[in-house]
Every structure is written in C-alpha cells, then in structure tokens.
C-alpha cells in the first residue's frame, strides 16, 4: 500500500515496525511506546493530540505518517437507537461499512475486511457487489478504533468484535490476523482474543491453518444448507469446498483447539427453515462441539428469498435442541438502516 512518496499508514505498523521507523528518524526508541499508547489507549488520531511528545517529533509524524485511514461519509442510526451503521470512504475513494450494535451490556462491532467480496453468496448484498480489493491490516484496525473512540466519549467500551462485515476474512487471512494481533497487544488496545469472532463462508485450507495456529479467537462458519446442490446455489464457494470437506475441517478445528465452533444459518422461508432441514442439520453436526446461530434472513434487493416466520424459526430451534445441538435464534438488527453486510456500500456506489 505504501511507497517512498506515500507515507505509511500508522495503523499498518506493528510495534517493531513503529520502533524501527523512529530509529530511522533518529528518535529514541522509548517514543515508540508513547506513540503506541497514544494510538491504542488514548485513541488519539492526529499528531497534534500527542501532547506528551516534543513538537519536532509531532511535525515529523504529520509529514512521515498517515493517520486518516477511513473517513465517515454516512452515519445511520436505527429507529430504536440500538444499531449504528457507518459508511467509510477509504483513501482511494472506495467505500466500506461497519456496524455498532448495542445490547444490554454488550457493544458489538461488525467490521469489514475487504471492499466487496469474491465469494458471491446470493443472499448477501456484499456478495452481489463483487470484489474490489483487500483492506490493509491498518484499515481493519481503524474501523475498531473509530468506534472505540466514539464509545469512549460516552464512557463505554467495545465488548466484542465480529469480522463479519464486508468481505471474507479468510480470503484476506494475513491482514486480518495482523489486525487482530495489533488490537490484542497487551501494551496497546489489549482487546482479548476471545472477544473476536471470525466468520467464514467455508474456506477449508484457511480453517485448517487457523486450527494449526491454535488461536483463542472464535470461529463462525456460514453454513445455510445441508446438501451440496442447495448450498452451491446459495454459496458458490461450495463448488470448491463441499459440505463434507467443510465439516471435516470444522471437526479438525475443534479437535486441535478444544474450542466450540459456531454455525451461522440464515433462515429463509421454505428454503432452509423446514423441519426436515433441521433434522438433516442435527445429523450433520452430531458429536461436534458447536452451536447454531440462526437468524431470519436480512432482505436484500438482489435476492428474492424471504425471512422465515417466528413460528418456523422456533420449530427449527426446537428440533435441533431435541437432537442435542444448542441453537440461538438471533434478533435481526438495523433492518431499517440496511445493516446487513454491504447493503449501504452497494447502494452508495
């Protein structure tokens, strides 16, 4: 992303990278810790705010580093005031979005990892957009810090971060993991690994790599169907990695990490919300340490499917639980502000 004429984005630097930069500038390395804490503990996002640094260093930062990774171009609050969606403009003019959801005690962020998405899931507004580019690790980090800053001003804090916004996090694996590591750093933002959740459409090699790394980060897999033919129609990724391969990788993940896996299931009326489908799902997941998050479909203009009814959702959940598979029916949030992944950005372009 950066070259000699284009200063590096400060949020793209890990701590050793920042230390190295200060050495190059002829500055004492202890300044790196001060800058790091200013960024990630005080949420400062402009050189002028670093009042603990000498003026010449602040001037160097102003010319030698970029601080503006993302700029909010549109903010929408749901009618109940519980969900805020922000459309961000990137330096190249492209747009991404992130969502803040307020629950009783939780403040959950839904963060983007790509501009658009290459996975092409038919029911997802981002999938309908196609893929533009990966976000850098710093562009991912900046979304979290934007909301951390906003909540800090209200005396609140982010409690959970879900990498489930625009994009497939495992398609942008390295940048996604670097962003998590940077936010997890004990000397900086210190956001616990277990409070992150990565959601994937089912990129099997990445799930296996993730299992090998034995991270404490939560894993959610978008499943949505129990039969290959139906899943391919909804999620083209299934052509490359079918359900059997996907569930094998999930079993390997649980075996290697001992961590429970979550399966995301968008309940679509008379498509995947039938009692038969619930029984097939229970059979597929038998013996796997897992949990099913079922959520009535967020409608998008590019997909004809309708959300299931409350009654059908309840029956679906009941059948899974009778077969020993824990299931939660999630509330849809922010329908009135197009809070489903990609719904704003796809309309803004």
Pair 29, 130 in one domain: no
Pairing type for strands 83-90 and 95-102 reads antiparallel
- Side-chain-side CA neighbours of 231 within 13 Å: the count stands at 21
* Alpha carbons 136 and 174: distance in angstroms, whole number: 9
Given this model, what pLDDT does residue 80 score?
A: 82
Output b/e per residue, 48-76; b: 16+ Cβ within 10 A.
eebeebeeebbebbeebbbbebbeeeeeb
Pair 31, 83 in one domain: no
Global confidence as pTM: 0.90
In a domain, 342, yes or no: yes
Given this model, what pLDDT does residue 339 score?
A: 46
Q: Which residues in the chain come in under a pLDDT of 70?
A: 1-5, 127, 299-304, 331-349
Given this model, what pLDDT does residue 129 score?
A: 78
**Environment class of residue 179 by beta-carbon count within 10 Å: exposed (0-12), middle (13-18) or buried (19+)?**
buried
Pair 173, 215 in one domain: yes
Pair 126, 247 in one domain: yes
Given this model, what pLDDT does residue 332 score?
A: 57
Which are the catalytic amino acids?
A: 97, 341
Pair 129, 23 in one domain: no
Pair 263, 219 in one domain: yes
Pair 251, 153 in one domain: yes
- For residue 46, what are its two tokens? 């402009």
Q: What's the structural domain count of the chain?
A: 2
Give the domain extent around 22: 10-64
* Alpha carbons 140 and 183: distance in angstroms, whole number: 10
Pairing type for strands 196-200 and 160-163 reads parallel
Given this model, what pLDDT does residue 299 score?
A: 67
In a domain, 273, yes or no: yes
Of 288, 249, 295, 291, residue with least CA distance to 272:
295
In a domain, 262, yes or no: yes
Given this model, what pLDDT does residue 1 score?
A: 43
Given this model, what pLDDT does residue 110 score?
A: 94
Given this model, what pLDDT does residue 122 score?
A: 75
CATH number at residue 59: 1.10.150.530
Pair 123, 233 in one domain: yes
Given this model, what pLDDT does residue 143 score?
A: 97
**Environment class of residue 284 by beta-carbon count within 10 Å: exposed (0-12), middle (13-18) or buried (19+)?**
middle
CATH number at residue 239: 3.20.20.70
Pair 88, 51 in one domain: no
Pair 190, 55 in one domain: no
Pair 195, 321 in one domain: yes
């Amino acid at each position: 992303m950066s070259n000699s004429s284009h200063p590096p984005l400060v949020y793209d630097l890990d701590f050793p990278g920042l230390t190295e930069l200060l050495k190059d500038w002829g500055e004492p390395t202890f300044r790196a810790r001060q800058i790091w804490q200013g960024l990630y503990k005080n949420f400062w996002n402009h050189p002028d705010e670093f009042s603990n640094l000498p003026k010449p260093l602040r001037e160097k930062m102003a010319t030698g580093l970029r601080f503006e990774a993302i700029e909010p171009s549109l903010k929408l609050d749901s009618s109940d005031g519980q969900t805020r969606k922000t459309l961000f403009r990137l330096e190249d003019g492209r747009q991404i979005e992130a969502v803040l959801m307020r629950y009783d005690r939780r403040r959950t962020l839904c963060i983007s990892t790509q501009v658009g998405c290459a996975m092409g899931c038919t029911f997802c507004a981002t999938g309908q957009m196609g893929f533009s580019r990966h976000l850098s690790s710093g562009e991912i980090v900046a979304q979290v810090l934007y909301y951390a800053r906003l909540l800090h001003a209200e005396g609140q804090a982010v409690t959970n971060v879900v990498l489930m916004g625009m994009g497939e996090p495992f398609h942008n694996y390295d940048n996604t993991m670097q962003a998590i590591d940077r936010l997890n750093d004990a000397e900086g933002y210190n956001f616990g690994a277990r409070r992150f959740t990565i959601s994937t459409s089912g990129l099997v090699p990445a799930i296996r790599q993730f299992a090998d790394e034995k991270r404490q980060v939560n894993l959610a897999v978008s499943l949505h169907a129990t039969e290959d033919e139906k899943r391919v129609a909804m999620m083209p990724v299934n052509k490359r990695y079918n359900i059997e391969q996907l569930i094998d990788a999930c079993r390997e993940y649980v075996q290697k990490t001992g961590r429970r896996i979550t399966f995301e299931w968008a309940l679509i009326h008379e498509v995947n919300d039938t009692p038969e489908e619930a029984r097939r799902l229970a059979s597929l997941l038998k013996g796997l340490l897992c949990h099913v998050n079922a959520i009535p479909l967020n409608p998008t203009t590019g997909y004809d499917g309708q959300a299931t009814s409350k009654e059908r959702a309840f029956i679906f959940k009941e059948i899974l639980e009778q077969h020993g598979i824990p299931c939660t029916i999630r509330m849809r949030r922010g329908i009135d502000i197009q809070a489903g992944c990609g719904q704003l950005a796809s309309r803004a372009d």
